[in-house]
Chains A and B, each alone.
Chain A
Amino acid sequence: MNHAFPTALNASLISCHSCHLLCKAVRPPEAVLSICPRCGARLHPRKPNSIARTWALVIAAFIFYIPANVLPITRVISFGKAQSDTIMSGVIYFVKSGSWPIALVIFIASVFVPVLKLIVLTYLLISVQLKSRWRPRDRARLYRITEAVGRWSMVDIYVVTILVALVKLGALATIEAGPGAIFFACVVIITIFAAMSFDPRLIWDTQEQNYERRKKQ
């Protein structure tokens, strides 16, 4: 055993995903269902089917993103008139009424973050599949940021919840949630799962494989 990087995988160890205990890997790993002796979680050297799962979730989120933005997320009924709002028209409303900071918060949380997250995950998936060696530390950081910011996209769903609770005065003023809210909630949940299913260790495994290959040549 003469590896360039002393990783758990190279040392035939598995770091438990849940409690981070180092366990001895049982070979072949597929045949035996190994369980962490300390916390009882299933042991995997890497997250199972990470790339395929993340791709599936990213594509699903891209598809859901379209109705989430096209369909209305709220319907305001006031004095008998109904007016539907999408995410973008909500942002434009705040810009027009002069609430710049709020417009910016909604735009970043509801439009910018989900798109950025999907683009970053797509890029990470492609870069891992192409066995890229380009700036792994920065790509790891990119993943860390993506995982941390995802939850903030939920803001718009919570705004709808509060508006719906507060404004129900019959024909005078009532706010209802629109179908866009369902799709948007799905986009947020799916992207969180997508970020969870991606295994950042894959970024580093490529470095090792490339190093080993060059050493052999």
Chain B
Amino acid sequence: MESIIACHECDLLHQSQSLPHGGIARCVRCGAVLYRHKPNSLDRVLALTAAGLVLFVVANFYPFLTFRLEAQIQETTLITGIIELYNQGMWIVAGVVFLTCILVPLLELVGMLYVLLPLKFKMRPWKLPILFRMIRSFKPWGMMEVFMVGILVAFVKLTKMATIIPGIALYAFMALIFVLAASAAALDPHIVWNRLEQRS
């Protein structure tokens, strides 16, 4: 795969070469990562995305956290807080949380499946390159791992006041964060773009 690429951070041109196992290509001028060696990129991402979708469903539809103060019990799912914020008139905040923790991760998972399955089975569905571009531009707005830290802080804050019982959705959520991180690490967008280019 000998071709010329430009560093996306300083525009310097480089000759791209194939890397050894675990290798990283960096820009000689600014030090930005140009590309990495990622074996079986597409298959790995496909497997992780499928696992991610299952975890996403569990994380959204099962009890997330339960708050118990003496006899009073308040059971919540992932979306409860968003609805509550919306009811209090905080629709901007509710919208931001909904986008970053539910909608963007869901679109990313479904979108990756839509792009990768046809590549795997050599089919030709509708608007693949545009969709892949959209997914790539959404990606920075998925912030589930930050939400996890938020859970930790809220847990510490409330733990003196009442009992907090973690639900099955919380464990699915934690697993989902690792799956998403692993899939982001395994994805080599250059390979996807090259494949998409060859087919058109």
Hey, which bits of chain A sit against chain B, CB under 8 A? 5-9, 11, 13, 15, 17-22, 38-41, 94, 97, 99, 102, 105-106, 109, 136-137, 140-141, 143-144, 151-152, 154-169, 172-173, 176-177, 181-182, 185-186, 189, 192, 196, 200-201, 203-205
In the docked arrangement, what's the CA distance between A210 and B147, Å?
Answer: 45
User: Taking the nearest CB of chain A, how far is it from the CB of B89, in angstroms?
Assistant: 9
Q: Tell me, yes or no, whether B183 is within 8 Å of chain A by CB.
A: no
In the docked arrangement, what's the CA distance between A200 and B153, Å?
Answer: 34
In the docked arrangement, what's the CA distance between A192 and B140, Å?
Answer: 9
Return chain A residues, CB-CB under 8 Å to B100: 154
User: Are A19 and B133 in contact (CB-based, < 8 A)?
Assistant: yes
Given contacts A166-B67, A167-B67, A181-B90, contact A200 B9 (CB under 8 A): yes
Q: Tell me, yes or no, whether B120 is within 8 Å of chain A by CB.
A: no
User: Are A22 and B5 in contact (CB-based, < 8 A)?
Assistant: yes
Given contacts A6-B13, A163-B154, A204-B30, contact A15 B6 (CB under 8 A): yes
In the docked arrangement, what's the CA distance between A176 and B87, Å?
Answer: 10
User: Are A13 and B6 in contact (CB-based, < 8 A)?
Assistant: yes
Hey, which bits of chain B sit against chain A, CB under 8 A? 4-6, 8-13, 29-32, 65, 67, 69, 72, 74, 76, 80-82, 84-85, 88, 90, 92-93, 96-97, 100-101, 129-130, 132-133, 136-137, 140, 143, 146-147, 149-154, 156-158, 160-162, 164, 189-190, 193, 196-197
In the docked arrangement, what's the CA distance between A21 and B190, Å?
Answer: 9
Given contacts A20-B6, A41-B133, contact A158 B146 (CB under 8 A): yes
Return chain A residues, CB-CB under 8 Å to B130: 39-40
In the docked arrangement, what's the CA distance between A138 and B137, Å?
Answer: 26
In the docked arrangement, what's the CA distance between A152 and B152, Å?
Answer: 14
User: Taking the nearest CB of chain B, how far is it from the CB of A179, in angstroms?
Assistant: 9
In the docked arrangement, what's the CA distance between A137 and B26, Å?
Answer: 13
Given contacts A177-B93, A181-B90, contact A158 B147 (CB under 8 A): yes
Top 6 closest pairs, chain A to chain B, by CB: A158-B150, A165-B81, A15-B6, A161-B81, A8-B6, A162-B154
Nearest residue (CB) in A for B65 is: A166
Nearest residue (CB) in A for B96 is: A185
A173's partner among B136, B140, B146, B161 (CB-CB below 8 A) is: B161
Return chain A residues, CB-CB under 8 Å to B152: 102, 105
Return chain A residues, CB-CB under 8 Å to B11: 7-9, 15, 201, 204-205
Given contacts A22-B5, A140-B10, contact A105 B149 (CB under 8 A): yes
User: Are B29 and A204 in contact (CB-based, < 8 A)?
Assistant: yes
User: Are B157 and A177 in contact (CB-based, < 8 A)?
Assistant: no
In the docked arrangement, what's the CA distance between A21 and B194, Å?
Answer: 10
User: Taking the nearest CB of chain B, how far is it from the CB of A72, in angstroms?
Assistant: 13
A162's partner among B13, B133, B150 (CB-CB below 8 A) is: B150
Among A39, A109, A181, chain B packs the most CB atoms within 10 A around the CB of: A39
User: Are A22 and B4 in contact (CB-based, < 8 A)?
Assistant: yes
23 contacts between A and B (CB under 8 A): A6-B13, A8-B6, A13-B13, A15-B6, A20-B8, A21-B193, A21-B197, A40-B129, A94-B157, A102-B152, A102-B157, A160-B93, A161-B150, A162-B150, A164-B81, A164-B84, A164-B85, A164-B88, A165-B76, A165-B84, A177-B90, A185-B92, A204-B29
Return chain B residues, CB-CB under 8 Å to A196: 140
B81's partner among A97, A137, A162 (CB-CB below 8 A) is: A162
Return chain A residues, CB-CB under 8 Å to B150: 154-159, 161-162
Return chain A residues, CB-CB under 8 Å to B164: 166
B154's partner among A41, A136, A159, A182 (CB-CB below 8 A) is: A159
In the docked arrangement, what's the CA distance between A8 and B9, Å?
Answer: 11
Return chain B residues, CB-CB under 8 Å to A151: 140, 143, 146
User: Are A204 and B10 in contact (CB-based, < 8 A)?
Assistant: yes
Return chain B residues, CB-CB under 8 Å to A19: 129, 133, 136, 189, 193
